Structure 1
């Protein structure tokens, strides 16, 4: 009888050992699957982060270009404003020049007549294409 008990105990121990080994293998597989899933998610996050950084860099470069363009436009407008804020005086100069003072500096601009004069003795005619 003790042999039977020993055989039953040995069989039970062997089955228990097999079940324990199977459970350990199952846990190892689940851990590997979880690790694989985590690595895949980390790759996806890294790809999204790289794409986001590239887009951010592109936008920052575009903003820098726009800021430079706006700065140039502002400088040009300030120069134009400076000229427009200058004082013009039409003195009776012999050459008909217009004198403009901007920031204390005087400039002389010669005027050119762009309006064609007509005399009463001229006969009315149609303008040529060159005159238009």
Structure 2
């Protein structure tokens, strides 16, 4: 009977060892799957971050170009304004002429007429 008990115990130990080995293999596979998943997610996040940074850089460059263009337009407007505002002067001449200075050239207007619509 002790041989039978030993055989049952040996069979139990063998089945237990096989179950333990299968569980270990299953855990190893799950760990590998988890590592692959984590690496894939990290790669996706890195790609999205790179794309976001590239888009941000493009937008910042566009903003800089627009700011430069706006500054240039503003400077041109100020120049035009100074030419238009600072050049016409109503000289109270005896003949009633309006003197206009444009780019250093003086013009006199003796007669005015209403603009046609």
User: What interval of TM-score do these two structures reach, taking the shorter chain for normalisation?
Assistant: 0.7 to 0.9
Deviation at 1:101, TM superposition (A): 7.0
Per-residue Cα deviation, 1:107-128 (whole angstroms, up to 9, x for no partner):
9999xxxxxxxxxxxxxxxxxx
Task: Extract unaligned runs of 5+ from structure 2.
Answer: 111-115
Q: 1:105, 1:81 → 2: CA distance?
A: 17
TM-score between both structures, scaled by the size of structure 1: 0.67
- How many pairs were matched up? 112
Q: 1:45, 1:94 → 2: CA distance?
A: 81
| Greater helix proportion | 2
Q: 1:108, 1:27 → 2: CA distance?
A: 98
**CA 1:108–1:72 in 2, change beyond 3 Å: closer, same or farther?**
farther
Q: Stretches of 4+ moved more than 6 A in 1?
A: 90-98, 101-110
Task: Extract unaligned runs of 5+ from structure 1.
Answer: 111-130
**CA 1:53–1:73 in 2, change beyond 3 Å: closer, same or farther?**
same
Deviation at 1:82, TM superposition (A): 1.4
